[in-house]
Structures are given as C-alpha cells and as structure tokens.
Structure 1
Amino acid sequence: MPPTLSSPYARVRQEVAARADRLWEIARTLWDDPETAYEEHRAAHLLSGELERAGFAVERGVAGLPTAFVARAGRAPGASTAGPTVALLMEYDALPLLGHACGHHLIAAAGLGAALATRAALDPVDGTLLAVGTPAEERGGGKVTEVRAGLFDGVDAALMFHPGVRDWRWAPLTASAQVRVGFHGRSAHPTGNPTEGIDALGALIQLFNVLGVLDRRLPPGSHVQGIITDGGRATNVVPAYAEGMFGVRGATTTALEALVGELRSAAEGVALATRTRVEVTDVGGRYEHFRDNKVLSELFAGHLGRAGIPLTEPEAGVYLGSSDIGNVSTRVPAIHPFVAVMGPEGSDHTTEFAEAAAGPRAREVMVAAAEALACTAADVLLRPGVSDDAWAYWRAEEDAGR
C-alpha cells in the first residue's frame, strides 16, 4: 500500500522522524553503559520509562525476570473488541568485555521508536500493541522464559530486527543448547596407589576424542564445541571429578535434539568403558531454530526497501548462530531480518562491530528499521487479512515440520 500524505504509513514515518534524535540518544546511552545478561536494570528502566511517559501501561519484572517488561496500548486484556495483537521486541543486553558488539542497543531503540510511532500514528489503536523488553538474549534466553510464562499467548505478530553485516530478509538461525557433562571417578595418588584411581579427567578427554570423530559426519548447521570447566586441582592427585561444557547446535530443533542424544550416548559409552559415572544436564533453556514468517518479513522488506535498504534472501547453507527469537517464532508468526551496519568482511561480537554500531550508518539503520517495523505493525493492525495470512503461513510451516 503506497503512502499518501494522509495515510497511516506517512504518519508513522513522520512520528519516527520526529523522534529520531531522541532514539539515537537512547541508543548511545545504552552503548555507553553496557549491561550484561540479567543485569540490564538501567536499560530496562530507561526504555520502560519512555513508554510509560508516552501513555503505555507498563508492567515491569514480568515472567519472574527483574529486567523484563511489557508495555501495552490499545484494548485491555480480556476485552471483547476484535483486533490483532502486535508485539514489538527489544533486546538490550551486552557482551562481557565487548559491550554492544552485537548491536542490541540498536534493536532496543528501533523497537522503542516503532512502538511509540505506531501508537501515536494509529491512536486509538484498533487492537493491541505491545512493546516487550526481552533481556538476556546472549546468555540464558529471556525470551525462552517469557514464552514459558505465556507472554506471547494471543500475539499475532512478533516483530524485531537485528543489525549485522548482511542485508537479509530473514535470519538463518540454528537451534542450540548448552550441555554440562560431569564424570565422577575415584581419587588416588598417581604413584602411591595408582591402581585404585579412576581418572575422571581421562574419561572427559576420551569424550572429546569421540566427539571429534562425530563432528566429521555432521550436516551443515550442526556442530559441538566444548571446553573443560573442571579438570582437577593438583597434578599429584588422580581427578575424582571432571566437567566439560558443550555448545550444541542443529539446523533445526529436531536436529539439535538428535545431536544432544548422540552426545549423551557418547558420554554414557565413555563412562562404561572407563568405569566412571557420568551426569549430562542442560544448562539454561534451549534455543529453538528460527522459523521466518514470509507474509510478515516480505511486508517489512518492502517498507525497508522504500527507505533505501533492499533486503535479499540469505545465502544457501550459511547459518548465523542462534537466538531465543526462535522460541517465539515456533509459537507465533515472527520476523528477524538482518540489516547491515558494516560490510560483509566484518563480523559481530568484535570490537570493530561495536564501533560500527555507534557510527553514522548505525543511526541510519536504526531509524529505517524503526520505520519499517512500525509500518509492518500498522499492516497487521489495519489491513484485513494480514494476521490471518500470517497465521496460515505459520501453520503450513508447522505442518511441514520446518
């Protein structure tokens, strides 16, 4: 739908433009004051405060997470008035030592700008507009907890963007899990009574060897990366306990579950062979693979293209890590496009990316993404059939097992 001077899309863009300086100020405040997972108290206070002053009803500490919040505009919970529900998502946790080297300050500012502009342009909102603060994407998965708490129940579209080094319509994000493997043996002196010892560290090292063989036959998008987190305390004692932490990824959630099962079987086999006892446990919630909603992502791409940033399909066979947005996308229609703030020769989670994410290109991307997110929210709220089409596409993907 092309904008006219009186169209909601034109009003959305005017509202974003009027707030651009303040949104960039907020983004730079977050960039200058990075807070890591579950510690984002100042960021959550700043963002929720902006929404509250704009007339949103804000609930803080949702899902049992002190730095999570939901801001609501439109019809009240339980109201009988018809209308879709749109959620604009904000991430704001930083990386240890690297600060905002993943650009979450831009995600927060764009989501905030989209929420403020959509409410102002469409007031009164015919439906429900949510601005959801989602902490701890980098570690632990705030969205995993929020999904379990029912925060996305009744949502028809979950919208966010991510800064990156490519302009892609959707994100090829894998499923992932953190798995702790602990071997229990029996301590002994390596020269005094060596035959009485059962070397837990030796068992753990054998598991790494087995996984090295396994890794050679894994399909694209799947891998296991491990570190030793406990290898004993002294060289003159056979370790009675050794522990490793393993990051496991699969191209799909089903592939992840199969690979975690293989890791468990390998650990149990090593334990049997070495006469140790093994414990295999998940650490935190699992991230599911991302399921793009083509109906919504094409709308976003169209709006962003009108702002001068064309998006393309991802390169085949390329995967860009994991995110807890996957857990949202397998429950409700969702988007997670990538928009470049530096060239493809770079990479996020680097100091170079952190610097680029505070530069002029980052500001342009943040403003353009806020506009495109708000216009996509307007599509869902105003255009008959968009929500139904998004859900029909979601169900087709679900039925196909994708």
Structure 2
Amino acid sequence: MSTDLRTASRSTVERYSAALVDISHRIHAEPELAFAEHRSVATLTDFLGGAGFQIEPGVGGLDTAFTATYGSGELVVGLCAEYDALPGIGHACGHNVIAAASTGAAVALRDIADRLGITVKLIGTPAEEVGGGKVLLLERGVFDDVALAMMVHPAPDETCAASSLAIADYRVHYRGRPSHAASAPHLGVNAADAITVAQVAIGLARQHLEPDQMVSGIVTNGGAAPNIVPDSTTAQFDLRAATTESLQRLEHRIRDCFHAGALATGCTHEVVPVSPVYAELSPDSWLADTYRQVITELGRSPLSPEEERQRKTGSTDMGNVTRALPAIHPTIAIDCGDAVNHQTEFATACASASADRAVLDGALALAWTTIAAATDDGQRARLLAGVAGRAAGQGGAA
C-alpha cells in the first residue's frame, strides 16, 4: 500500500476534520425519520457539492436519496451514508456518525482519485431503520456500477466482519364490528381480542423457534375507547433469523399466529409488509481483513473473528448490498458506558468527543481500505470482474 497515498488521505481528513464533525453534530441535532431526511440530505449535499462532487438528487425515485461522484476511474468505490433517525429517541443508532465518516472518506479519496484510477461515489441511502432504502436503490440500479461498497457503524464494540440477522417486518390489521361494550357486547366483533390471541400464539411459539429466530412487536392501534368494542386494530412485528432461509420458515409460522387471531374472534385480517426483506450481512473477507489491518494501525482494538461470531446483532439493509457485491459493514466503538444502540444514552454518546474521533478514524479507515484494494492488481481485477459479471447477468458478490 502506497505510503504517500495514505499520507495524502490522512492530511485531507485532518484538513476537513472540523467540517466533518460539524456535519455529524448538525445531523444529530435535527433527527429525521425514514424517507423524510431532507435537512440531513441538504447538509451532506451542500458540503459535497462545495467540495467538487457532482450531485444527483432523488436517485432511484427516492426524494431523500442521492449520489455524489468524483473522478472518472474505472473502479467505482461506493461509500454508503445513512442519516435516518429513530422515533422518539433520535440518533440512538448513530447514523450521523455513519454519514460524516463516509463523507470524510469521500473527500479523502477525492484528492487521490486520479492516481488510484477510481471514481468515488458516495450514495445517500435513506430509511435504514425502516423502509429498506438500500434494497430499493439496489433494485433500481444505483449500485450497478459499484465495484465495492463500504460504511462504518458506531457501536459499543469494534468489529470488522460484523454479522447481522435477516429481518422482515409486517403490519397486521384486524377488522371486527363495533358495539356498545356494556349494553350490547354480544353484537360486537372484537379486533383487540384478535391481536391478543395472535400475541399469545406468538409467545407460546417462541419456545419452539429455531436458534437465532426471534419476534418483537408493538400494538399501534388498540381501539378508540373502552366503551366501544374495537372494530379496527393494528400491530407491527419484526421477524428476525440468522439467514433469509430461516426467516422464510419463521414467516410461515408467524402468519399462522396472525390467522389464529382472526379465526378465534371472527375478525378479518390483512398482513402488509412494512419494508423489503433485509438479508443477513455477508461481508467480503478480503475487504474485512484489510479493514482490520488499517483500523488496528489507527490504534483501535477490534474484537477477534471468534468474538465477532459470538456477538448477537441487529439487522441492516446493508446485508442486501453485501449479498450483491463485495462490501463490508464494520462497527466502530464509541465511549457509551453500558448503553447499547437504540437507547437514549447511546444517542447522547453519538455527539460526544468519542463519536467525533470515530468519524475521523472511520473516514480514514475506509479511505485506506480503498487504497489497498485499488493498488492491489489481483483485487482490482477481481472487483472489476465482479461488476462485469453482474452486468452480464451472473449476479452475486464476486
């Protein structure tokens, strides 16, 4: 790996450090939900446009998706920026750090793109928490020319080949018949009871689920008033499993539980997907090993591969990207005490000095991993062959 290329990229990250931290803090301060991340997109595209990147807004037909490209090299490097937040608890998954780190990597590579023979393509990917922005962008061709894709996610632990669970999320609607809850309950068909039966069925089924299968859910509409037999109720459930194949088996079982609620109460029901199915992560081993090397050189201490495999993780639409092309989704540790992702304390930590360091270290690690791939003749050929193979319809990660 060329020392002067690494030195140049470090110098760029240092030069832009204040701006990158400011991007992270601005996104953190104004959290926006899936497909509504307009201020976050403006923050990123204003900076990247000013840094010489060509901005294409609304890619893939999504208002809050975009690409920012620089260079004309045949090897297209995809840097994924997430920026959606969680309802009620804001950036408790640290997507502000992700967006700023990918932006930092993009500007670090900008100054050496011609020497590396690469095109830098930052892809603004909305709706990771729910909605599957990356899945939609994959299906709509935004990743077609990308040879490798990367991002880095804040977490309590440092990992390089992070795993994840496949997930499908569903909204189930029950329809009954209203009636007076005291004077004529026998004339009602109780849609709230249907949800209760479904929840009991799911609870009992948990004893017999396969390892790494899990179900979580909430009631989003339980009725209008206690003196009216509820005629319309809604619940939302996340189904997770170690693999997409296991997830399909789980889905069949849980759909039967939904049906049981309707059958037991006389309601009708409808099951509606909330997001596309997220596949489990399948990180590219060469990219992950290289990232491990550079993040260690930067003074960080990632978990061993054995420890990584024992970690139970969440789910991400980046899994679909890793199944389509060589890609990685490492995690970068921040000081968050005993907190974990999706807790308010973690949200606070994502605007701390530790998170600011993660932005800069993450940007540099992604840039150095790119330099290694672009300057290794064998890997460069592999990555370019992968793009050609996908274009020819062979599919899959190279």
> TM-score when scaled to structure 1?
0.88
Q: 2:192 aligns with which of 194, 201, 211?
A: 201
Percentage of pairs with the same residue: 36
Structure 1 residues 190 and 135: alpha-carbon distance in aligned structure 2, compared to 1, 3 A threshold = closer
Q: CA deviation at 1:92?
A: 1.7
Q: CA deviation at 1:265?
A: 1.9
Q: CA deviation at 1:166?
A: 0.3
Q: 1:353 aligns with which of 346, 355, 361?
A: 346
Q: CA deviation at 1:376?
A: 1.3
Contact map agreement 2:324 2:395 (CA 8 A) in 1? no
Equivalent position of 2:90 in the other structure = 99
Contact map agreement 1:8 1:122 (CA 8 A) in 2? no
Q: Distance in 2 between matches of 1:21 and 1:237?
A: 57
Q: CA deviation at 1:31?
A: 2.4
- 2:29 maps to a residue whose letter is D
1:21 matched to 2:14? The reply is no
Q: Distance in 1 between matches of 2:360 and 2:165?
A: 28
Q: Distance in 2 between matches of 1:146 and 1:266?
A: 33
SS of 1:232's equivalent in the other structure is: coil
Equivalent position of 2:283 in the other structure = 292
Equivalent position of 1:78 in the other structure = none
Note the alpha carbon deviations across 1:255-279, whole angstroms, 9 max, x for none.
2222122111222244334333221
Taking only aligned residues, the RMSD between alpha carbons, in angstroms, comes to 2.7
**Structure 2 spans left out of the alignment, 5+ residues:** none
Q: Distance in 2 between matches of 1:65 and 1:361?
A: 33
Note the alpha carbon deviations across 1:109-144, whole angstroms, 9 max, x for none.
111111111110233551322011112222322212
Q: Distance in 1 between matches of 2:227 and 2:132?
A: 40
1:135 matched to 2:114? The reply is no
Q: Distance in 1 between matches of 2:336 and 2:186?
A: 59
SS of 2:324's equivalent in the other structure is: coil
Q: Distance in 1 between matches of 2:250 and 2:242?
A: 11
Contact map agreement 2:170 2:272 (CA 8 A) in 1? yes
Q: CA deviation at 1:174?
A: 1.1
Q: CA deviation at 1:66?
A: 1.8
Which segment drifts farther, 207-216 or 119-128?
119-128
Q: Distance in 2 between matches of 1:276 and 1:100?
A: 38
Equivalent position of 2:36 in the other structure = 39
Q: 1:58 aligns with which of 55, 69, 72?
A: 55
Equivalent position of 1:73 in the other structure = 70
Contact map agreement 1:293 1:393 (CA 8 A) in 2? no
Which segment drifts farther, 315-324 or 384-393?
384-393
SS of 2:276's equivalent in the other structure is: strand
- 1:251 maps to a residue whose letter is A
Equivalent position of 2:319 in the other structure = 326
**Structure 1 spans left out of the alignment, 5+ residues:** 76-80
Equivalent position of 2:215 in the other structure = 224
Q: Distance in 2 between matches of 1:277 and 1:387?
A: 56
Q: CA deviation at 1:392?
A: 9.3
Equivalent position of 2:360 in the other structure = 367
Q: CA deviation at 1:194?
A: 4.4
Q: Distance in 2 between matches of 1:343 and 1:189?
A: 51
Contact map agreement 1:166 1:344 (CA 8 A) in 2? no
Contact map agreement 1:71 1:130 (CA 8 A) in 2? yes
- 1:120 maps to a residue whose letter is D
Number of residue pairs the alignment of both structures matches: 390
> TM-score when scaled to structure 2?
0.89
Contact map agreement 1:189 1:238 (CA 8 A) in 2? yes
Matching of residues 132-171 of structure 1 within 5 Å: 132-171=123-162
Q: Distance in 1 between matches of 2:220 and 2:385?
A: 46
